[in-house]
Structure 1
Amino acid sequence: MLVLSRHVDEDIVLVLEDGRRIEIKAVSIRGGKVRMGIEAPRSIGVHRREIWEAMNTKVSAAESA
């Protein structure tokens, strides 16, 4: 795991093998929470982990039915 520190308005850029980019920006920090802004191509799903896990649970249940 790579751990990075960022100040507000600083970015992290992920470059995919095909050249597409995902940009993650620290938008604000309040108390113990960091607000993140994410710019990614529409073809790439961006979800909070709990939403992604719920979506995958539903897909797995549907496939095994």
Structure 2
Amino acid sequence: MSALSLAFFSGMTECVQDKQGRVNIPIVLLQYGLIDKGCAVIGVSSIEIWSRAMWKEYVAHSSDILMKLQKR
């Protein structure tokens, strides 16, 4: 396993669904992701869970970069 993969997956945690298919995110991961009340779930073949504030910041920053690249 590469060092990058090991570093990435070392924070992985197995979760169990409840009867309604919901998954509780462990507190340590909520704290790591700075998620307090709401979140954004992003993904296609896998998912990422972001705090709403961090996702909005990322989208704003990414939009600026994409606009600059588009002008080239």
Q: TM-score, normalised by structure 2?
A: 0.33
Larger % of strand: which? 1
Q: TM-score, normalised by structure 1?
A: 0.34
Where relative contact order (Cα < 8 A, 6+ residues apart) is larger, the structure is: 1
